[in-house]
Amino acid sequence: MTTAKLTISSKNYSSWSLRGWLLCKLAKIDFVEEVLSVDDPTARAELLHLSPSFLVPALTDGDLKVWDTLAIAEYLHEIKPKAGLLPKDKAARSHCRSVCGEMHLGFSNLRAALPMNLKGHYPNFKIWAGAQADIDRVVAIWRECLTTYGGPYLYGTPTMADAMFAPVCARFTTYDVKLDAQCQAYVDHIMATPMMQEWINAAKTEPEELEELDVEF
């Protein structure tokens, strides 16, 4: 594979860009980043949930362009099958695809109530009931995976599921979401990985701000 290009938006605010970036890192491909300004219409549509079809992140590999995070994940699995983006076991692999699909399509209340903001920290954040239901479902998925596959990642070793849920770990940290010991250990582990630390450090130096996504209390 030649050097690919990953087009992303804000590192501070964009959960989908983080997912795409982590997938590329997990697949160990050579890629360069193209970061769109938050003033770019495509970037703003993604960050503010103004479009049902987001064009970032997008992975360009030669003449081929793949957008949509799940499509990027599956493409990377095709070209890098030994990278472990999906578990080796058939049952675990199908389960992994299912929880990734659920994360990709659902949890709209969680996304709306707890927007990603790596620069922010809101202790004792009040969570409304709709978002709490989404949090409870995330926690149920994590408990099932961590108990079944033994941790420290959802399927034992890093997979696309960890990339899909990493922004949720970031949200739970930003908004001080209270978790049981097993799930908190997972959040702490994901947040401390070198890949996440690299992304977070870059996000904290990002000069651009998007007022619509800066929560004030």
Number of neighbours of residue 3 by Cβ within 10 angstroms? 10
Of 116, 155, 111, which Cα lies nearest the Cα of 135?
A: 111
Within-domain flag for 186: yes
Which H helix or E strand runs over 192?
A: helix 181-192
Shared domain check, 115 and 63: no
Q: What are the pLDDT digits (tens) for 157-196? A: 999 999 999 999 999 999 999 999 999 999 999 999 999 9
Question: Do 71 and 107 belong together in one domain?
Answer: no
155 and 186 share one domain? yes
Q: pLDDT tens-digit profile of 125-145?
A: 999 998 999 999 999 999 999
61 shares a domain with 109: no
Structure-block tokens of residue 20: 């795409």
pLDDT in tens, 73-98: 999 999 999 999 999 999 999 999 99
Residue 48 belongs to a domain with what CATH number? 3.40.30.10
Residue 216 included in any domain? no
User: Of the candidates 56, 83, 110, which is a domain's last residue?
Assistant: 83
Pairwise CA distance, residues 94 & 105, whole Å: 17
